[in-house]
Amino acid sequence: MAEGLVHEGSAFVNFRHHLPDPKDHGFRWVDIKRFGFSAECPDDSGLLAALIGHEQFRDDYAGGGVLPDGLRHGPYWLRSITPDRYDPIREQQAVRILQERVGPARGRPAGLEAALRREVFDRLATADGIHHLGELGAGAMHDWGGVHGEFHEFVLVDRSAGRITLVVAADD
């Protein structure tokens, strides 16, 4: 089913580009990948399986980019990630997790706030389903997966738009 998803584009929000003191960014960033799917798509579990099988999912988020034959996803071995490892959560829970990661809106520079609103928070608000990749444990971590101090991943399903969005908020 991975071929049923069409990669529509990506966005990258690097905190370093928005904060007055470049040392304050804490190597934080958010990566967003958007995929389209057809009206006859499966349930959310099927969409998650299609996403995991898509080559754009094979990204270690450590500078190497997407490796079509890659074995890693973020800090984890790709084989450790299955649809059942994602927990459905409510928008408020996702916002809380992300706010803890990116900091309160009132303290963010206007450019960073606008980018996060456009690329992440507006998409959370329109999603029919939000899935959070839980902690997979040390056995799932690949050989150099500890490069990420924090790694938060969300999959947003917007059926009315026929779009699934992968949101990764991390640091390195």
How confident is the model over 52-77, as pLDDT tens digits? 999 999 998 888 889 999 999 999 99
Cα 105 to Cα 119: distance, rounded to the nearest angstrom: 14
pLDDT number for residue 149: 73
pLDDT number for residue 1: 42
Report pTM. 0.91
* More reliable by pLDDT, 159 or 150: 159
Cα 77 to Cα 71: distance, rounded to the nearest angstrom: 6
% pLDDT > 90, the chain: 57
How confident is the model over 74-99, as pLDDT tens digits? 999 999 999 999 999 999 999 999 88
Please state, rounded to an integer, the average pLDDT across all residues of the chain.
Answer: 87
* Structure tokens, 50: 């299609």
